[in-house]
Amino acid sequence: MKNFACPKCSNKIYFENVECLKCGSALGFDATTLQMALLVPAAEPHRYKLADRSGGTVEYCQNARYAACNWLMVANDTTGLCPACDLNRTIPNLAELGNIEAWRDMEQAKKRLVYSLLRLGLPLVSPVEGRGKLAFDFVRNATTGHKDGVITIDVLEADAVERERQRQRFAEPYRALLGHLRHESGHFYWALLVEDAGMTKTFRKLFGDEREDYNAALARHHKDGPRSDWAQQFVSAYASAHPWEDWAETWAHYLHIVDAVDTAEAEGMEPRSQGLSFGALWPFRRTDVYRDESFATLTNRWIPLSAALNSLSRCMGHGDFYPFVIPEPAYAKLNFVHDVIRSSVRHHHGLRVP
């Protein structure tokens, strides 16, 4: 994620802020520019003028009143919701104890996912008739998963103690709301970027045949555990359960990597961002990691960065920042994810009338 600064006083601000903690200015996230915008109160109540764009009148998304959103929308938008909250199909009953806090955590994680999808240039709605849009059900006592474009997240996943219990139960090295959302969004984009894009044949060469009985494969995985050679073939143990799960896990890792490299560069934590060059791998020119970086350079940046971040994390007595080792075959799969995203974006922009 990019680094944000208050447009008025240059103080560092976070993606989740609604005001600058130094100068008190009202701030909101503008999904059309992917920037934190400075807001000037307008004459009408709850309306603001964008300080950087002439004439733009905006208001906060309706979910701002629950402190669950800081995104903006055009004033009088009929949905009353920002483009990210508009993807919600179900939210938990806010009258029930603990649900509002859980929902806020889920919204924060979801905003980060949507930010990445927008930076990648991916549509939030399938261009294929009847496929619908990426949608979310945040509900209690449900199984976290994906079906026909709808992502279901159990409210309990926002409970840190419960999440840790589940992490240990499934012997996972990492479990986070953002990780779930990235994984589940992969199932939605499989249909768009692989199946509808005619990439199934290439997909099968790398991931295997997804026509294998899905429910039987998952039942086998939960009963017998992962394949004994999973660490040599897959990005995670769960990825070995079925080709669709392999894709979703690989997709999630691709989003982890791109966002982490982008953030490290923005924060000046990467040698390249300091203008240091280590041979041809660290060009001086800044590249948009989400749009322009080649896969080879992306991974050449990620490997030393993730090792450095693991060391930093251990300094504080935490577990590894990125507790995974990517085996060689999994890089080819990550490369495939990279390629199908890029070709979809090229295709999408190719259709646009200039």
Give the binding-site size for Zn ion (rule: CB under 5 A): 16
Q: How far is the CA of 56 from the CAs of 17, 40, 59, 271, in angstroms?
A: 20, 11, 10, 39
Q: Please identify, among the stretches 68-76, 121-129, 206-214, 305-313, the one whose residues bind Zn ion according to the rule CB under 5 A.
A: 68-76
User: Does residue 273 touch Zn ion according to CB under 5 A?
Assistant: no
Decide: is 153 part of the binding site for Zn ion (CB under 5 A): no
- In the complex, least distance from residue 17 CB atom to Zn ion, rounded to whole angstroms: 10
User: Which span (78-86, 116-124, 261-269, 277-285) binds Zn ion, by CB under 5 A?
Assistant: 78-86
Name the one range near Zn ion by CB under 5 A: 136-144, 238-246, 289-297, 311-319: 238-246
Least Å distance, CB 248 to Zn ion, is 4
Is residue 290 within the footprint of Zn ion (CB under 5 A)? no
Identify which range of 74-82, 207-215, 263-271, 293-301 contacts Zn ion by CB under 5 A: 74-82
Does 36 sit near Zn ion (CB under 5 A)? no
Q: Is there binding between residue 144 and Zn ion (CB under 5 A)?
A: no
DSSP 133: B
Q: What is the distance of C-alpha 144 from the center of its chain? A: 16
106 binds Zn ion per the rule CB under 5 A: no
**Using CA atoms, how far apart are residues 299 and 334, in angstroms rounded to an integer?**
10
Of the candidates 107, 35, 43, 106, which has an alpha carbon nearest to the alpha carbon of residue 72? 35
* 70, 27 Cβ separation under 8 angstroms: yes
Report which residue type is found at 165: R
Do residues 33 and 41 make contact, with C-beta atoms less than 8 angstroms apart?
no
Tokens of 186: 């992969």
Please name which of 49, 50, 48, 80 lies closest in space to residue 63, comparing C-alpha atoms: 80
Q: How far is the CB of 242 from Zn ion (least distance, A)?
A: 8
Q: Residue 49's closest CA among 61, 35, 62, 59? A: 59
In the complex, least distance from residue 316 CB atom to Zn ion, rounded to whole angstroms: 29
* Binding residue (CB under 5 A) for Zn ion from 31, 37, 39, 82: 82
Instruction: Give the footprint of Zn ion on this chain (CB under 5 A).
Output: 6, 8-9, 11, 20, 22-23, 25, 61, 63, 69, 71, 82, 85, 245, 248
